[in-house]
Structure 1
Amino acid sequence: MILFPAIDLKDGKVVRLLRGDLDQATVFNDEPVEQALKFERQGFTWLHVVDLNGAVQGRSVNGGTIEAIAWSAELKIQLGGGVRTVADVHYWLDRGVERVVLGTVAVTEPDVVVEACKQFPDRVAVGIDARGGFVATDGWTVTTDIRALDHAKRVQDAGAAAIIYTDIDRDGALTGVNIAETVALAKGLSIPVIASGGVGSMQDLLAVRAAEKDGIAGVICGRALYDGSVDPVEAIALFPS
């Protein structure tokens, strides 16, 4: 099971949102590369990066910063936000990103997922961000009538290597991961599911760890690492990867 520290980028800075609201962004570091190197020094091996501006605008906005992180740190990077074409996937994999996460385009243009997974097997994941169990797109600004599990089954059939499942209502709120919904999703799939949204304490991480047998393969942790609610040394010890 993998623990992914998160760097969410907005206007070139490391931020955390509250429940996906771009107007409720807390800046935790003005220097994203410095933050990535800090995570590396702490002993993390993976890094989850999201271009928040890109997710809303449908194109890479913080690309220069992401490239700088990839060049500077030896962490394996899982990148999402503003990736909408097969060419985008190729671009980022060619620049040192280990895994690219497709989100909105998996809903609007599912053939892109099929082709990307065909060209880059095991290196394309799909992010499913849900509000009340329904998929949200375009940087969480649009909530669809598509149920998360139905969408997950379609992208699994398309060849996705993993699902990153985010409960938007818990993201950045430190109220605990929605274990029940994440496990329900994982049990309906044969590909790994990574939990996201809500980690606020070591107890939350222990709860995720206990769900490994139910198909949860990893968890993303953001605000709790930044504000000290989760100690990185203790967390890494719980999730050796």
Structure 2
Amino acid sequence: MILYPAIDLKDGNAVRLVHGDMEQTTVFNDDPAAQALSFVAAGCEWLHLVDLNGAFAGEPVNAAPVEAILKACKVPTQLGGGIRDMATIERWLDRGLTRVILGTVAVENPDLVRQAAKAFPNQVAVGLDARNGRVATRGWAEETDVMVTDLAKSFEDAGIAAIIYTDILRDGAMKGPNIDATAALARAVDIPVIASGGVSSLADLKALKDTNVISGAISGRALYDGAIDLQEAMHLLNT
């Protein structure tokens, strides 16, 4: 199972939110590239980036810090937030991004997901963010009637690289991930599922790993707060 350290970008800074609320922001580093390098130095195999402003704006906003991270770090990197058209997908992949994450458009324009996954094999992931099992879009500000499992199954034949499942009510709250829901989703589809939201301890990582169906986990606040030691976590997941 792969651990993806998260760098959430707001106004050029590395931040964490609570429950996706842009008003509940903690700035952890005003130099996101330096933060990324510290994760790489600790042994991470991937980086997970989110353009929070972009998720609300519907277009990239924090391009400068993302590009600085891509220039400084040589590990594979995935990015979500404000990526809603083919031109933006192609531009980011051309700039060295390993994988784009499509969230809002997966609900509003699923054909784009299919088109992108076909054009860029293994470089397109779908971000499914949910409250009580229903998908939320546009920076989590809008809740839909679409059920997570139904949407995930609809992409079964699209060739996407992964599904990133976030339980919004767990995100940034340090209360543990929704293991049961994440594992149920992973068992319902053949697409690799990455857990996000609430991963706050080595015990959480072990529990996710022990399901034997979850391919990865994203953690942010716990790494910044020191609740998870990245080197210990890497050892746990690789043994």
TM-score by length of 2: 0.98
SS across alignment from 1:156: coil
Residue 175 of structure 1 is matched in structure 2 by: 175
Residue 157 of structure 1 is matched in structure 2 by: 157
Amino acid at match of 1:217: S
Residue 38 of structure 1 is matched in structure 2 by: 38
Q: CA deviation at 1:155?
A: 2.2
Residue 78, structure 1, aligned to residue 78, structure 2? yes
Structure 1: which 5+ residue stretches go unaligned? Answer: none
**What is the CA deviation profile of residues 129-158 of structure 1, one whole-angstrom value per residue up to 9, with x for unaligned ones?**
000100000000000000000011112233
Residue 191 of structure 1 is matched in structure 2 by: 191
Partners of 2:73 and 2:142 lie apart in 1 by 34
Residue 217, structure 1, aligned to residue 196, structure 2? no
Contact 1:106/1:155 (8 A) holds in 2: no
Q: CA deviation at 1:175?
A: 0.5
Amino acid at match of 1:168: I
Identity level (%)? 57
Partners of 1:218 and 1:123 lie apart in 2 by 16
SS across alignment from 1:216: coil
Q: CA deviation at 1:232?
A: 1.2
Deviation beyond 4 Å, 4+ runs, structure 1: none
Amino acid at match of 2:50: V
SS across alignment from 1:177: coil
Q: CA deviation at 1:21?
A: 0.6
**For 1:21-32, what aligned pairs fall within 5 Å after superposition?**
21-32=21-32
Structure 2: which 5+ residue stretches go unaligned? Answer: none
Contact 1:104/1:138 (8 A) holds in 2: yes
TM-score by length of 1: 0.97
Amino acid at match of 1:239: L
Amino acid at match of 1:233: Q
**For 1:38-187, what aligned pairs fall within 5 Å after superposition?**
38-187=38-187
**What is the CA deviation profile of residues 59-80 of structure 1, one whole-angstrom value per residue up to 9, with x for unaligned ones?**
0000111011101111210110
Partners of 2:120 and 2:179 lie apart in 1 by 30
Q: CA deviation at 1:111?
A: 1.1
SS across alignment from 1:60: coil
Amino acid at match of 2:228: V
Residue 201 of structure 1 is matched in structure 2 by: 201
**What is the CA deviation profile of residues 13-41 of structure 1, one whole-angstrom value per residue up to 9, with x for unaligned ones?**
00011011111011100100100111111
Partners of 1:190 and 1:37 lie apart in 2 by 33
Partners of 1:98 and 1:122 lie apart in 2 by 9
